[in-house]
Amino acid sequence: ASWQARLAQAAAQAKTAEAARADREATSARAQAQRAKRSAAFVLSVFEQADLLRRDGRGAISIDEAFEDALKRIDQEFADDAMVAADLHDNFGEILASKGRFDESQAHLRRALELAEQSHGKDSLEVAESLLNLSIVSGYRGRLLEGKTELERALEILRRHPEADPLELANARASYSNLLAQVGQSELAVGEMQAALAVFRAHLPEGDQRVSIAVFNMGAQLHGNGQWLKAQPYLDEALSLTEKNQGRDSASLLPILDFQATNLDAIGRHQEAEQTLLRMLAIADSAFPQAHPLRAGPTMELGYHRLRQGKIEEGAAMIRRGITMAGELQSPTEIFGWRWLGMGMLEHGRWNEARAAAQEGQALCTRHKRQTQSRCIDLRLLGVLASIGADPSANVDGEVAAIAADIDESDAGGDTRWLMLLVRAEHSLAKGDRATALVDFAAMRDAQVARYGEAHREVARTEARIAAIKSGGN
């Protein structure tokens, strides 16, 4: 009988515990509903000035003015409820980021993080969400590495609760994939993005924006890994999904169009790439009248296309306009502009302008502490090529050796390897050593084929150069 009594007691305790858990969940649900109601009321208050029966003594004000007013009211109106205040700071922070007001966005997101830590604890899912949003805004600004600490902390929290919010964990893994790609761990980056995409496809309907974003991110990672032919179907699918769900003129298309243009160019579909950039700029100019990374990038890239076509002044002016925009935003994407300008001027033999662009870019790399990243090493190589072009007798041995050592230490990818071979070949040619130059040009062609494929225009240019040297020219 005693064991039956103990069994009955255990059952009663379990029932009591279950009732207590249910009560806690009900209380939590009521609290969440109340917070949601207060949040909704606050958001609706933004529109009250348009209501003749409810507006205050200021009279009618614009939506933009009401939005600015709401930003100032959050902490005052919700001093008694840190959870609601945290949600609102988080939501308004995301809106500010979408408007390109990144400093203000990050200030609101940091306030949301502070309040979430106070209300939910430092290891809560709410804290993970705020941390993830902070890291994402750093990425919007072209400063993904600045959000590394927040992202890794968010990922650590979410991995401890994998079943609690699989979609948020997938978001974090996708962001982490982008960070891994930026520090050169491309294979790991592709793996993280594949895992994130699988979760999104499993849990979300096709029409959900997060699916199209994940498909795009998969294409972007494959592109960054040099797998352009594999990337193109993902980019095409992402573009089609986003056009279907959000319209052909949506600003959400801009990141996809940006990668689409670059990838099309990489696989030799140059005319389509230029048309894509023109479409992107038309959308960006309308969506972002002020400076914005999604205007700066395509402006620079389209300028490079024009420069390569021989429209030197027009192309250079466009690149400089994009550089100015990126500079206003204090975005490292400015580095890309100087690289494009230097590359374009080299192609036309305008050595002094190429060298000046390379020097400007190198100074920016130093300022952002990115000297060992591929794009920054490329700028040093462009500077050497410009020096050799301007004066074939220039002594560049020391600089060439220093760059080679940095490449070996940094394991640089991208175009850096074949640009290094180009520097060696041009240096040998300038010294009259045609045999060594031909060996380096042949190795450079092989590196370009491995990166671009046989049909790419860079490969054709190198092959033409080899043929010219063999025929006695330079």
Closest CA to 332 of 182, 134, 172: 182
Residue 224 in any domain: the answer is no
Residue 377 in any domain: the answer is no
Residue 46 pLDDT > 90: no
Asked if 277 and 298 count as a contact pair (C-beta separation under 8 A), the reply is yes
pLDDT, tens only, 158-204: 888 888 888 888 888 888 888 887 777 778 888 889 999 999 999 98
pLDDT, tens only, 103-113: 888 888 898 88
Residue 93 to residues 21, 88, 104, 326, 382: CA-CA distances in angstroms? 34, 8, 7, 21, 40
Residue 7 pLDDT > 50: no
Residue 5 in any domain: the answer is yes
Residue 27 in any domain: the answer is yes
Residue 347 in any domain: the answer is no
Residue 320 in any domain: the answer is no
Residue 334 in any domain: the answer is no
Q: How many domains does the chain have?
A: 1
Question: What's the pTM?
Answer: 0.60
- How far apart (Å, rounded) are the C-alpha atoms in residues 239 and 438? 43
Closest CA to 335 of 378, 285, 292: 378
Average confidence (pLDDT) over 77-88 = 77
Residue 468 in any domain: the answer is no
Q: Residue 15 belongs to what domain range? A: 1-33
DSSP H or E run through 349: none
Q: Please count the residues of the chain.
A: 474
Residue 337 pLDDT > 90: yes
